Every structure is written in C-alpha cells, then in structure tokens.
Structure 1
Amino acid sequence: MRRLTLVLCLALTMVAFPAATSSPAEAEQVVVACADNTTDDEKLNTAIAATSPGDEVVFEGRCLIDGTIRLLGERAYRGHSRAGTVIRQAAGANLPAMLASDSYLDNVPYTGLPVTVESVSLDGNRAANPAAGDALVLRSWQSVVEDVEIFGANRHGLRLTNLSANGTALQNTQVNGRIVGNHVAESGGRGIFVEDTGNSVTDWQLLDNWIADSGSDGIALDNTAGWMVQRNHVYGVGGTAIAAQRLFASTVSDNYIEDFATAGLQASLQGDAASTIANNRIFRFNGGGGTFLSLGVNYGTGNATVTGNAIRGGGTGIGLDYQLGGGIAGQLASTGNLVTGVTTPRRVAAGVTVTAGL
C-alpha cells in the first residue's frame, strides 16, 4: 500500500505554488533469522541492501559473522532483546568493525544519514580475534544507540568518529545523536570513544550507560562541545574513567566513577562558552591514588562551574586539580565539593581563579 502525501511549497514571497505530490512506500519491518554460522553476515547484508528508507530491520537469534554489517542510513536496526539477539564475531575474523555506518565504509567526506541500533548484544570474541578493531562504528548524524550490550571488543566497544575507514575526515557536521542505556564491558581499548580530529561531532547526549573493565579509558571524548555526559557508571578501567576534552557549553554531571588507574574525570575547557561539572561521585575503593577530578584550559580564558562533586580516595592522590594548560586564564566557580581520603584536596595553578560564585 502506498500513501499520497500532499506537499505545499511556498515561495519566500509567500506566493503559493501548485501543490506537488509524492508517493513514498510505507515503512516495512524486515525480519532476518540468523543460523549461528558464518553465512549470517551475508544474509544480514543482503536483507539490509534490499530495504528502503524508513524500514526497520529485526535481527533474530544468534548471529555469527566474519564480515562487517553495513548500516544504511534512515533505517532502524534492533534485536528482540539483549539476550534474545546476539551477534558474535567468528574466531579469526579479525574485523575492523562488526557493525558500521555506510559513510564510514564508503569513505565519503560527509556524514551518514540517521540510524537507530537497539536491543541487541554484540560479542567481539576478543580472545579469538587478536587483530580485530571495534564492535560498533558510527559515522551518522542524529543517530540513536540504546539498550545495546557490547562486550569483548578487541579495541573500542562503541566508536563515534569523524573519520572513515581509510581516514577521510568529514567536511560537514555530525550532530544531535543519543547514546543511552547501554552496557559496554571488557573492551581492549576504550568502552565508548568519540573521535573527532576536526570540529564535527558535537551536541550529542551520552546518558545512563554502564562502562566496565576497559583496557584504557572508560569514556573518552575528543570533542565534548555541546554534549551532555550524565548519569553514566564507569568502573574498573585501566586508564581514565571519563576523559572529556574541549568542553564548550557542555554538561558533565551525576556520573558514578569507581576504581580507575590514572584519573577519575579529566576535562579541558575551550576559552569561549562556559561549562558545568556537577554532582559526580568519584571513588577509589581499590586503593591507590591518581587524580580524581582534573580540569585544564586549552586556549583563552576557560570558564566553568565545579559544584557538588563527592570525592573519596584511599589515602593518596589529588582531589581537585585545576590547571591552566595552554590557556591564558581559568575562571572557576568551585563550591560544595566534598573531598576526603586524598593527600592533596585541591591544587590550583597560577593563572586560575577560583571563587564560590554568586
């Protein structure tokens, strides 16, 4: 069944042009049943290639893949549940990515169209794929990743990037997406990595995720401009729990951080708009020190509020570390933070002014 849609076109002078009609096909749901063998990726890619914009592709059962699943834009991809749909990388496949945006694979200089990935588990099978890359690679704007479990990626669990497979950088923006309610565990590199060598990947939401046992950082953002990074639980990481660079009108709040190797929350400010760092809980239950909350300035005068954070160490380390970095000055309103169990509760570099605000 096809529906006729009436489109009224108005000129800038408010003169009405004749009505035009179009007849897009109704969106369809395409169900693909996996057989738990290495023909599953061919089956999935063939089904996806036959879909139209607006369609939903439903993965069923256990899928075993030795080829990358190509995510076409303007489509939704989901499983029945995390336990009900598991996509596993076959031993020895060593895929650069298990699932990836079409714009990433095609090496084009513009972002892909929106995709939604939800209610599925991705098993990177890291032990049997020592040369593999990432589990899920997104290079598509206005996209959503929700209720996805990613475990055992050899490199990064979820990588949101401005670069294509061959390193082609975006010439446009890749904004306004949501990464919400996912569980990423046992990644060899970073759990969630926002890679931005330019200034393209801004204004996303990273909310309510669980990141566990990453080899390096739990969450790392090259560019946090316009982002909301909130209510994530990050624990047991081999580097920094949350590394958020280039804050510009950003919010980093209400995150729960446990047991990191280097730093709990490390952030840097751009010298333009102000940002907010608030109500984060940063603890070391496994002993050791490090820096619990570190903030620097990249250029100009950085402005931020740092309020209501709770820090509890195991006897050593620096609680709040306010550094100038490459900037001219830092203007911080720092108040209501509780810092205990560390050697140095607060360290402030020359050029950084700390007040209680108004």
Structure 2
Amino acid sequence: MAGFMTLTAALATAMATLGPVQTAPAAPPEITNLAERVINCRNNANIDSRLIANTIARSNAGDAIVFDGTCLVTETIPLLGNRSYQGRSRTGTVIQQADGANLRAIFASDSWLDNSPTTGSATALRTLNIKANSAANPEAGDAVVIRSWQTFVEDVQISDARRDAIRLTNLSENGTELTNTQVNGRIANTQLNDSGGSGVYVEDTGNSITDWQLEDNYIAETGGDGIHLDNAAGWMINGNHVYDVGGDHALYADRLYGSSIDDNYIEDFGTVGILGRVQGGAASTILGNRVFQNRGKGGTFLQVLGNYGDAKAAVNSNTIRGRGLGIGLDYQRGNADSLEVTSNGNLVTEVEIDRQVGEGVIINPGTLRLGQP
C-alpha cells in the first residue's frame, strides 16, 4: 500500500511539473467572403437603375457597393444596412436623377423605404457626385434620406436638390415614427450646392436623432436654412462653411444639450446667422465662429434662446462683422426658467447693437485660472 501511495504521489508531482492537460484548439470561426460589387453604369436610364437594383439585391452584409461611371437613375437607391456605397471619385462617379423621375429620394435608408418602426443598421455613403437635376424633376424630394444609426456620409457632392440635399429623419416614407434611437453618425467633408430646402435638415418629431457629428462641410445657395437641426442634443457642429443662404437661418440648432457649435464660417443669411436653443440639465458651447453679412443686410448674427429649465451656454471668441446694421449678440431666456451665458472675447463690429440681453438672462463672467487646467 505504501508503494502505491508513493507511485501516486510521484505521478501527481510529474503532472504538476508538466502543467495542465492540453486540449485540442477550437476550430477557427467561419470566415465569410465579402465582395466588392462593382456597378458599371452606362449613363442610360433604361439600364442603370436595373443594374443597381440587381446588384444591391445580391449583396451581403459587409459588402462594398461600388458605382463606376455616370448612373442615370429612375428609382430610389436603397441603402441596405451593414454595407458601404461608394464611388471612384467625385468626378469619376456621378449619380444623376433622370429627367421626369421625380423621386422622393435618390438614396434612402431601407428603414425609410420599408416604413419600419425601428432604425436601419449602420451604413456609409462616400466619394461620389449626386446631381439631383431639379429643373427636370419639379415634383422630386430630397437627394439623400438617412434613417439609420452609425451612418456616415462623407466626401460627397450634392447639387440641385428640389428639397433638402441631406435629410436625417425619424419618420419613414409614410410617416411612421421611430420607436428607438438613430444616433452616432457623421456627415463630413461634403459640398452641398443649390438646394431648394436646406443643405442639411434634421427632422425629429420625437427624441431619436442625437449625438451626431456635422463637420467640415461646404453648404451654399440654399432656398431654406443652410443647416436646420430640429434636435441638436449631443451634436458636434464644427468647421462648416455656410454661405449665400436664401432662408432665415444659416445655422439653426434646436435642443442643444451638451452640444458644440464651434469654428463655423458663415457669410450672408436671411434673418439669423446662428440660432442656438439651449435645453436645461447640461451646458453647450458656441465658440470661435465667424459670422458676416457682406451685402449690407441686417438681422441677428448670433442668438441664444433658452428652451426649458436652467439653460447654460458658453459663447466665447466669436467674430461678428456687419455693414452697419443688425444685432451682434442676442441672449433671451425664452421658455426656460433662466439662461446663464458666459460671453467673453467676442469681437462684434459694424452693427447697430453689439449685444442685447433679455430679462431673466444671467451673464456669467466665467473663470480663468492661469496655469491650471
């Protein structure tokens, strides 16, 4: 018995020395072969939409849909989720609405087309030129309609939309509202020209479209507002150049909540250059913007209104210059219980009224501590 115990102890010692028992490695996960699906357009209204529809219908999640050449379209191009849609370049890929097509949208998220109550999956639209051809499509709608989350629109040029160049919406084609959120997307490095409505329009009848980035876009010669955001909560609105605006506002941002409106360059607007409506419960920044009227018009260059609760905003280091007319800075409590604003380092010149402060507005001098964060 003593010998058996000695043998057992020796085996245990050897196993401890060798380490744990090795098992066979797990089989590697199955790899799906993703495809670059190239659509070679013919600049032919009878062919191109059919080529596009057939290619997208055959695509799988993860595929890249690549447009090559000039595509003359007579049907809305659906943006199915978990795919990218891209061109060769802004000059090498042109998507043009055919004469008389009168599409409600040239590109549209699948959840908008399907009238889904929930948002579409992530997608991206990149590096192409969209000619909406509004003169030959008097009943047309928007160029691009987005109703999906984590979606990117980048390096895209859009011209001559009958309505909005890019519309983000919580409503489907038949008006169905989203029951969830449509967040964390990005619109950047676009050129949006000659829209009948807005260059970028965010339509949010609920509280779905928050926390997006709108950065480094050129928006020119709009019939409506340059940028119009029904819901700008959590948005970063930075580095945009908006000019020759036909509507009231160059940049209208409602429901600011932890939002930033920074480093935008605005030339020539209808009645208000930048209008920010601030929510209670957080604070927003309006910093380093440049707002000018070059045509001798007046209006209000930068206006901040409170929406509810105790609204707070930092309005600093903006540059405003007119031609002798208008109000430079205008702070009004609106529907809020109070509006507290830091208003420092703003350069306001050649206007009738440098700064106008309404009842119930608190001007906070702010705090500067040199050598500390």
1:301 corresponding residue in structure 2 = 310
- Within the candidate set 314, 317, 323, 2:332 is matched to 323
SS of 1:60's equivalent in the other structure is strand
Deviation at 1:41, TM superposition (A): 1.5
| Separation of aligned partners in 1, 2:173 and 2:306 | 31
1:27 corresponding residue in structure 2 = 34
SS of 1:174's equivalent in the other structure is coil
Are residue 349 (structure 1) and residue 337 (structure 2) matched? no
Are residue 85 (structure 1) and residue 76 (structure 2) matched? no
1:4 corresponding residue in structure 2 = none
| Separation of aligned partners in 1, 2:152 and 2:141 | 21
Q: State the Cα deviation string for residues 5-49 of structure 1 (Å, max 9, x = none).
A: xxxxxxxxxxxxx97975252211000011111121121111011
Deviation at 1:261, TM superposition (A): 1.1
Deviation at 1:348, TM superposition (A): 0.6
* TM-score normalised by structure 2 residue count: 0.90
- Within the candidate set 102, 111, 118, 1:110 is matched to 118
Identity %: 54
SS of 1:49's equivalent in the other structure is helix
| Separation of aligned partners in 2, 1:291 and 1:247 | 19
Are residue 189 (structure 1) and residue 197 (structure 2) matched? yes
| Separation of aligned partners in 1, 2:142 and 2:26 | 48
SS of 2:209's equivalent in the other structure is coil
Q: State the Cα deviation string for residues 85-120 of structure 1 (Å, max 9, x = none).
A: 000011111100000000000000110001110000
AA aligned opposite 1:94: N
AA aligned opposite 1:146: E
Q: State the Cα deviation string for residues 43-81 of structure 1 (Å, max 9, x = none).
A: 111101111010001000001011100110000010000
AA aligned opposite 2:208: S
RMSD over aligned Cα atoms: 1.2
Q: State the Cα deviation string for residues 218-260 of structure 1 (Å, max 9, x = none).
A: 1111111111000000000112111011000000000000011
| Separation of aligned partners in 2, 1:60 and 1:106 | 27
AA aligned opposite 1:258: E
AA aligned opposite 1:276: T
Q: State the Cα deviation string for residues 255-282 of structure 1 (Å, max 9, x = none).
A: 0000111211011001110000000000
| Separation of aligned partners in 1, 2:103 and 2:332 | 40
Deviation at 1:355, TM superposition (A): 2.1
SS of 1:241's equivalent in the other structure is strand
1:47 corresponding residue in structure 2 = 55
1:335 corresponding residue in structure 2 = 344
Are residue 57 (structure 1) and residue 65 (structure 2) matched? yes
| Separation of aligned partners in 1, 2:114 and 2:364 | 50
- Within the candidate set 226, 229, 233, 1:221 is matched to 229
Matches within 5 A, 1:250-329: 250-329=259-338
SS of 2:195's equivalent in the other structure is coil
AA aligned opposite 1:208: D
Question: May I ask how many residue pairs the two structures share in their alignment?
Answer: 341
Query: Where does structure 2 lack aligned partners over 5 or more consecutive residues?
Result: 1-24, 368-373
SS of 1:42's equivalent in the other structure is helix
Deviation at 1:312, TM superposition (A): 0.2
| Separation of aligned partners in 2, 1:190 and 1:205 | 17
- Within the candidate set 185, 192, 213, 1:177 is matched to 185
The structure with the largest helix share of the pair is 2
Are residue 200 (structure 1) and residue 208 (structure 2) matched? yes
User: Based on CA coordinates, which of the two structures has the bigger radius of gyration?
Assistant: 2
Query: Where does structure 1 lack aligned partners over 5 or more consecutive residues?
Result: 1-17
- Within the candidate set 235, 243, 247, 1:235 is matched to 243
